[in-house]
């Protein structure tokens, strides 16, 4: 509960940032989340703010300069801002007694993540990082299969996640020190999946980057490949790229079987999964659903019932510590030990929430990240 308490059955939210993901996924999700109310919008673009506000019949519209006023009228914020702004807006919300649901990556540095965790703790508010796949049936089923022994002893995780990012998109115009680049944007999915499938934390990492000279990649690398060592001599590898055809898949290989998910990380299409064992393959498709509504329902339930969310600030902190180690390895061309990561809960099958998919909304003054979709 916040300092002023919530006597209603719905949690009032301000969505902060009206970029593409906010407009195509976050805002429409409120219609599928009965315990969550879209109450306010915050944006630095006054024209976009007015038009999106009118679309959703909202009266509470605020500029970034008026963020404090917005906080005085809501119970929670959904932060859909550029990565380098997450810490500031999360800490300010927590100081105002407002709960925080923050897009991933949690922040740019582990110090920023720790400041967010501490602000939430000191002000007795909930902090959740928007790992939507922790609530999605296909990925939770993969966790179940991994834990069941069906695949035997787990040995290898391998993943590829890529897209052709549009020139001028914030993902390539912001440098790595401000959270730009493919590791912060796409690599965190691969890192997080390896951690929840292996059910443990990596101990060391080796990474290399590549750039073929495309003018889009003057401030960030085109792609990064990573090898992570996990306890019990298990290895996870992944490549994330802003300059290759779109793909989003992973494989989990054990001593007795293989699980493949392709696509694995998407929110705009069905998740598909194959398990092969004893030369027999079973295929399942998990229909497209509203993964963002599931996040809202889950987080609002945590607020209303005073429960700690599973994808907590500690989950976000763990991934960012690994990202820092990846870039240190790429820079030094050496294996880097990963500092001990905080203990935390892991996703469980009971977290699965199914909300029906919505149509494709009209987007106002915001472009998709993919060049192919631009």
Whether residue 177 has a cis bond before it, omega within 30° of 0:
no
Structure tokens at 257: 């079987």
Segment (H or E) for 122: helix 110-122
Active-site choice (89, 189, 250, 327): 189
**Closest C-alpha to 44, from 25, 67, 69, 73:** 67
Is 282 labeled as catalytic in the residue annotation?
no
Q: Is-contact 64 8, C-beta < 8 A?
A: no
Which member of 48, 104, 126, 321 is catalytic?
104
Alpha carbon distance 101, 16 (integer Å) = 10
- Residue pair 106/184 in contact (Cβ under 8 Å)? The answer is no
φ, ψ (nearest 5 deg) of residue 12? -85, 130
Nearest Cα residue to 345 out of 143, 184, 146: 143
Verify whether residue 305 is a known catalytic residue: no
Helix 110-122 vs helix 86-95: angle between axes, to the nearest 10 degrees?
10
Q: How far apart are CA 281 and CA 59, in angstroms?
A: 54
Catalytic residues: 104, 189
């Amino acid at each position: 509960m916040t300092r002023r308490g919530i006597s209603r059955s719905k949690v009032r939210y301000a969505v902060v940032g009206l970029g593409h993901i906010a407009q195509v996924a976050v805002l429409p999700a409120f219609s599928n989340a009965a315990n969550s109310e879209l109450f306010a919008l915050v944006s630095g673009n006054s024209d976009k703010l007015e038009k999106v506000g009118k679309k959703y019949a909202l009266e509470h519209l605020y500029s970034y300069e008026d963020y404090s006023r917005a906080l005085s009228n809501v119970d929670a914020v959904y932060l859909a801002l550029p990565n380098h702004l997450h810490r500031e807006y999360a800490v300010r919300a927590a100081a105002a007694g407002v709960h925080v649901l923050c897009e991933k990556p949690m922040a740019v540095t582990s110090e920023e993540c720790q400041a967010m965790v501490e602000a939430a703790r000191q002000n007795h508010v909930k902090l959740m990082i928007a790992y939507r796949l922790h609530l999605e049936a296909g990925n939770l089923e993969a966790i179940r299969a991994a834990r069941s022994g069906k695949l035997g002893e787990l040995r290898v995780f391998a993943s590829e996640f890529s897209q052709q990012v549009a020139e001028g998109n914030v993902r390539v115009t912001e440098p790595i020190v401000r959270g730009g680049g493919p590791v912060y944007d796409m690599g965190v999915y691969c890192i997080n999946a390896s951690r929840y499938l292996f059910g443990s934390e990596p101990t060391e990492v080796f990474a290399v980057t590549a750039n073929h000279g495309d003018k889009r990649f003057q401030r960030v690398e085109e792609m990064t490949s990573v090898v992570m060592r996990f306890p019990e001599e298990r290895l996870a590898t992944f490549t994330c790229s802003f300059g290759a055809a779109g793909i989003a898949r992973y494989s989990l290989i054990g001593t007795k079987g293989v699980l493949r998910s392709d696509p694995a990380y998407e929110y705009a299409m069905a998740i598909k999964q194959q398990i092969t064992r004893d030369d027999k393959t079973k295929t399942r498709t998990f229909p497209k659903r509203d993964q963002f509504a599931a996040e809202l329902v889950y987080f609002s339930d945590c607020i209303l019932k005073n429960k700690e969310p599973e994808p907590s600030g500690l989950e976000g902190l763990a991934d960012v510590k690994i990202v820092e180690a990846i870039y240190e390895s790429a820079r030094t061309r050496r294996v880097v030990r990963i500092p001990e990561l905080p203990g935390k809960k892991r996703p469980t099958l009971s977290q699965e929430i199914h909300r029906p998919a919505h149509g494709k909304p009209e987007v106002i003054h915001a472009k998709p990240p993919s060049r192919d979709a631009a």
